[in-house]
Amino acid sequence: MVGGGTDAFIGGVHRMAARLDGAYELVAGALSSTPDRSLRSAEVLGLARGYGDYLSMVEAERSLPEDQRIEAVSIVTPNHLHFPVAKAFLEAGIHVICDKPMTLTSREAEELQTLASNASLVLAVTYNYTGYPLVREARQMIAEGAIGAIRKVIVEYHQGWLATKLEAAGMKQAAWRLDPTQAGVAGAMGDIGSHAENLVSTVTGLELEAICADLSRFVEGRVLDDDASILLRFEGGAKGVLLASQVAVGMENDLRLRVFGEDGSLTWRQEDPNRLLHHPMGEPVRILTRGGPGLHANAESATRVPAGHPEGFLEAFAQLYSEIAVSIRATQGRVEHAGIHPTGLDGLRGMRFIEATVASAVSDAKWTPIQGSHNQD
């Protein structure tokens, strides 16, 4: 692991997620931004091999015999380090699990994706919400035509924790997210808007064609956006709306998706993740439940406990880690098929989306074309 020292938030989440299903053992890490704190964190966590920084980690690990070195690295630093760290490990032949957004620019994302692709290495991006069983169910249903051709997609991601200027109050989590040198060109769009984009892309399979974005900085003095309202047009004629805000007072982690097709619609909420509402045209609504009747194999296999025993955020995150483990084993010929998880292509698509939203916003919400993922190699 790179990043994720004991004072960070997301590192602990990644560790629990990796641990839950038992497919990973955490043995090495460069966990903080200074050697001192990195080593101290490694000690607290009882890592076999603590490093002062990621470069010495790459160096040391690549020089270990293959059966002793790490198989994969999980990168959980602020955004600006994703690219150099991922690049270094990919070049060392080590699989990469990278937090989102994958890089600072789409150019960096392309480079990583090419690198991984050429080296036949796993490059996974932890858009963790796609790990929810009922997100997988929705994807499968749509792929099989359960709601017909899609007309309209509404995706929302509302949080309220940045409604005041926490970054000026010394809150580290807020500070780097709103600092362009660490977060990139976007604030809320990069932090949560990119999750929303990926959720739509994953579930619907639609490719964006153009967007029209209104980004806001509601809290005075912010350089990066803390709120976004974006109109979407997809290839093939479907339309949509993406709303993201981190100043939505009272909202906790309110990620929602509604997909309307010609024959039905689906509704899902991250805060109530064990239920998926299916509205078939002209029939009563059905509530599909995690572990309940009527699910596809992809959704059933992504669950640990029976229906009614709620699974949550960590289980969905763990699902991603377990799927990535499958992909790693697939590169080793130990299993036939790769796992189901976001890859470098998703990371690249995400970066193109973020850049397009910013471009649209600075042109006062003009429709801005967006390069589709099928054009990306």
What residues from 44 to 103 belong to the interface with its own copies (CB under 8 A)?
none
Residue 358 to residues 124, 137, 156, 365, 367, Cα–Cα distance (Å): 25, 32, 18, 9, 11
Task: Describe the crossing of helices 313-331 and 133-143 by its angle, rounded to 10 degrees.
Answer: 70
What residues from 248 to 287 belong to the interface with its own copies (CB under 8 A)?
248-254, 258, 260-265, 270-274, 277-287
- Binder to its own copies among 159, 204, 322, 368 (CB under 8 A)? 159
Structural element, H or E, at residue 42? helix 35-44
Dihedral angle over CA of 343, 347, 348, 354, nearest 10: 160
Q: Which is nearer to its own copies, 205 or 294 (CB)?
A: 294
Q: Which is nearer to its own copies, 12 or 35 (CB)?
A: 12
- 167 touches its own copies by CB under 8 A: no
- 163 touches its own copies by CB under 8 A: yes
- 113 touches its own copies by CB under 8 A: no
Distance CA 278, CA 220 (A): 41
Q: Give 349: exposed, middle or buried? Use CB within 10 Å, 0-12, 13-18, 19+.
A: buried
For the record, the structure tokens of 19 come out as: 């641990």
- 176 touches its own copies by CB under 8 A: no
DSSP-derived 3-state class of residue 238: coil
- Binder to its own copies among 310, 369, 374, 377 (CB under 8 A)? 310
- 309 touches its own copies by CB under 8 A: yes
- Sheet holding 72-75: strands in order across? 72-75, 95-98, 123-125
- 152 touches its own copies by CB under 8 A: yes
- 322 touches its own copies by CB under 8 A: no
- 165 touches its own copies by CB under 8 A: no
Region near its own copies per CB under 8 A, out of 7-15, 33-41, 100-108, 347-355:
7-15
Site size with its own copies, rule: CB under 8 A: 83
> Least Å distance between CB 133 and its own copies?
12
Q: Which is nearer to its own copies, 64 or 305 (CB)?
A: 305
- Binder to its own copies among 44, 48, 64, 307 (CB under 8 A)? 307
Region near its own copies per CB under 8 A, out of 57-65, 69-77, 81-89, 232-240:
232-240
Place of tokens 């790769």: 338
Dihedral angle over CA of 304, 309, 310, 313, nearest 10: -30
Distance CA 81, CA 319 (A): 25
- 364 touches its own copies by CB under 8 A: yes
> Least Å distance between CB 275 and its own copies?
9
- For 95, phi then psi, to 5°, come to -60, 150
- Binder to its own copies among 85, 162, 206, 243 (CB under 8 A)? 243
